[in-house]
């Protein structure tokens, strides 16, 4: 059985839809390649995703007894983005109305695994 580790980053600012655009870029990829993609990606969500991916790799190193892993053997097994709580705000609108603004958050879960 392959060794796995995960990292969870909760309550990220930004909509889950925008974070999923970034998550789809690295799903199933090698960790080195995924970090390169995220580092040079123009999206704001990519920075959060990169930090969480690095945390998952560190968790994998901690989980292994020897503490030594080969980066070319580690890949992103799964990455999920779920919606978090919404902060609701009100914006004044014409003719005495009020528009509701929903400030969305998301929860990011990354699972990395070592190939056998």
β strands within the chain, DSSP E? 4-13, 74-83, 87-92, 98-103, 105-114
CA atoms of 81 and 104, how far apart (whole Å): 13
In degrees, to the nearest 5, what angle opens at C-alpha 62 toward C-alphas 56 and 68? 100
pLDDT tens digits in sequence order for the chain, 116 residues long: 688 999 999 999 999 999 999 999 999 999 999 999 999 999 999 999 999 999 999 999 999 887 788 888 999 999 999 999 999 999 999 999 999 999 999 999 999 999 87
Phi-psi label, residue 41: left if phi above 0, alpha if psi -120 to 50, beta otherwise: beta
pLDDT score, position 28 = 95
CATH number of 79's domain = 3.90.470.10
Q: Are 39 and 90 in contact (CB under 8 A)?
A: no
Q: For residue 62, give its domain range.
A: 4-114
- Torsion sign (Cα): 16, 17, 18, 19: positive
pLDDT score, position 64 = 86
pLDDT score, position 1 = 67
Tell me the Cα Rg of the chain: 18
C-alpha distance across the termini of the chain, in Å: 8
Domain count, the chain: 1
């Amino acid at each position: 059985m392959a060794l796995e580790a995960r990292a969870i980053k909760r309550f990220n600012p930004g909509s889950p839809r925008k974070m999923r655009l970034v998550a789809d870029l690295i799903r199933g990829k090698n960790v080195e390649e995924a970090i390169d993609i995220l580092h040079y990606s123009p999206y704001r969500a990519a920075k959060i995703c990169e930090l969480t991916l690095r945390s998952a790799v560190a968790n994998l190193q901690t989980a292994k007894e020897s503490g030594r892993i080969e980066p070319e053997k580690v890949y992103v097994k799964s990455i999920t983005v779920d919606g978090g709580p919404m902060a609701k705000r009100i914006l004044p609108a014409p003719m005495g109305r009020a528009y509701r603004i929903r400030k969305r958050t998301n929860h990011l879960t990354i699972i990395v695994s070592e190939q056998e």
